[in-house]
Chains A and B, each alone.
Chain A
Amino acid sequence: MKKNKVIKFFTESNKAFTLISILLGFIIGGLILWFSGFNPFTAYAVIFKGIFSKPSYISYTIIRSTPLILTGLSVAFAFRTGLFNIGAEGQYIVGSAAAALAGYYIQLPAVLLIPLVILIAIISSGIWGAIAGLLKSKYGIHEVISTIMLNWIALYLQNYITKIKGFAKPNSEASKFIQDAANITFFDNWKHSDKGMAWLNNHHFAKEILRTPANFGIIIAILCALLVWIILNKTTLGYKLRAVGFNKEAARYAGINIEKYMIISMFISGSLAGLAGALHVMGVSHNITNLSAMEGYGFDGIAVALIGSNAAFGTIWSGFLFGALKYGGTKIQPFMGAPSEIISIMIGTIVFFISMPNIIKISLNKILLKNKKRGEDVK
């Protein structure tokens, strides 16, 4: 009886696949470490400690996860509506550049400025995404092609912006910092003041946390996941978007303007990725720099969405997993000289198995059913 429940869970449930894939990622990562002469258990212990052993580590993990959750949501949202948004990277860049510009130039009190900067970033990156949607619906240009190109345009656009006179920080490859009123890092001014430092010296835990650029971002990211879930499942907009994603012909026939909804979908998707960039600028970096290559938050979003089964809340968990591994993984290099790239291999492995659920399904079926004796009634 019980055994069959277990079999069923593992052969039929999505969550189980994900868990098995993650486990396989760890096993294969471990094997590779082992072959390269490192003790995998030590390595994982180092990673684990590197994530959890101090409040500041946890804080860094969360900070690292925030943009990944958002870009993951961006890719997942597009995917749920039948679009493959490879452009989260470019939308992220547009969002951060817009936030950096708005946060530097617009003079308003914080209560107004913060929402305004976020709004501007969301709209600009949304438009950046919508361009791909427009190209697809008007000219049939596949969004994979157009978003890849838009990524490069965004990159060079940002590099151009960081060179604008007055905005560029003299003698550097970066822009000027955003104003304090646009800064969402917790107590950023206070914690560097004499008073703040004195207080923090007596409050260890708070000091640990505030050593990091902890900020509101994660709350916004989680709210966005909730919002995405509501849009997709509870609103007529989500209904239409999913109908278009599942079956364009039937949607068109039912009177849904599929061109319009493709553009809307890419707008929302783009704005989620752009929000990731904006929050990063407002909460962590406070400026933008001249990029020589893509930073990869957008591309990582594809993996995050995949691991999260393209579900809103799944993306939160996979964003955290991804962020934790990325952050914790950096620690094995200094501690034991093992390459941090192992994390990328692990994530690659996880994605590999998740994209091919049948490998697991078939092998499990084989293993589990072989033991089934002849004529035994399984109920």
Chain B
Amino acid sequence: MINEHDLAALNGTCPEHYEPFQDRAGAFYETFERKPENQEQTHYCPGCGHGITHKMVARAIDELGIQDRTILCTPVGCSVFGYYYFDVGNIQAAHGRASAVAVGAKRARPDSVVLCYQGDGDLAAIGTAEIVHAANRGEPITVFFLNNAIYGMTGGQMAPTTLIGMKSTTTPNGRDPWNEGYPLHICELFAQLDAPVYLERVALGNSKQLIGAARAIKKGIENQVKGLGFSLIEILSPCPTIWKMNPVDAQHWVRDELTKVFPPGVYRDRTKDAPVRPAPKPKPALADLPKMLVGKGGVAPVEPAGTAPAAVHDLSIRIAGFGGQGVLMLGQVLAEAGLSADMRVSWLPSYGPEMRSGTSNCHVRISHKEIASPVVTKPNVLLALNEPSLRKFLATVEPGGWVLYNGTSLPEGMERDDVHFVIKPFTELADQVGDARAGNIVMLGTLLEATGMLSGESIDAALKRLVKTERWLELDRKALAKGRETFHLEPVSA
């Protein structure tokens, strides 16, 4: 492997000064950067539900004393800059994906408190799949779902929660259920799932509702602190700007209209009887990992390098037959045995377009040299477990190569006088030793006896690694012996 860095040094093009990574830490909390002229206000419009909700979330974090542990995942929508206002760890997500991001963060840091904040377009349109599955898995995160029945950030397009008849820039004549369907009821929908622990819909329509909202928000966070599962609080929230109302009217509209379609209430509360999450299994010691991962699978050569007979200095083997005849397994035994003999090996299964119609084949290379191409297009050994395979591959065999065929005689038109044929009913022979499925191993025995390739020890070591049960190991050993003796029963037809 050549590193171009060395080349560059030779050519005198030394690395230039390299800038450190962008340091964004701390950038947002001393000043409100987005509107430098406006340090005392949020970027939200007057009367916006986001600002109110932020305050409630912040107060709950404070009251619960979890500021250091909190990770806030913010969406794309008007609250994309939520991280300006929360002095906690912040991760800003792509549109609709905040819940998936929250899942990744929570599972990475189970001791943290992960809050996921999403609008109705973000959660209930583009991000529906992510939030449904997070809820259904009972991910122990807390979700604040801000439902303002509209897309705020992009300037007033229809949301999945837009009311029937409600005008938006993309429903200029009002939402028509025949075209746009009906408002999506997230709490009602999620109440059908088994896993969620807590689902409540609250509204920001008057001061009584505000008190209820603050309580629900705190409870949703507390659930996570207690180690309970998925909590979602849907917050019906005013968007005076897009609704073209003043803040007071917008608040009334939440109270009088939105709540008619989206009734507030507790849709699920299992905070008392939710099963406690099992504690994670203890981590293994780092030093033990290599053994756990590689350990037993490692292969030590059973015969010294170079002792395999010259006949096998460079084998290109193609094995083919019906699925279930053990084509891939036979290839693996050969490759494993080659490895035991300290040779270079490769095994490549047919898959994809070739696999259609229940046939299967594989390429095996065994060589004393480094293996260039593992793809065998001109085999010097063809193991054909059925007639179609013989028909397909016979012509590709190198002159002087070996062809083992599972049958009683060569099918018509399959003659060649420049290869060695060995024709035996391997499947039937396997039946005689106890199981027709061992036909591949009988064929292997014959191949070993015919060519002298690979020692018995290498093959046995390979079988021991690959064959999982004692019964089959015994059977395969018998099949191997049967194959070896069968080879001598009749002369090879040339």
- A and B bind: no
A residues apposed to B, CB below 8 Å: none
Residues of B within 8 A of A (CB): none
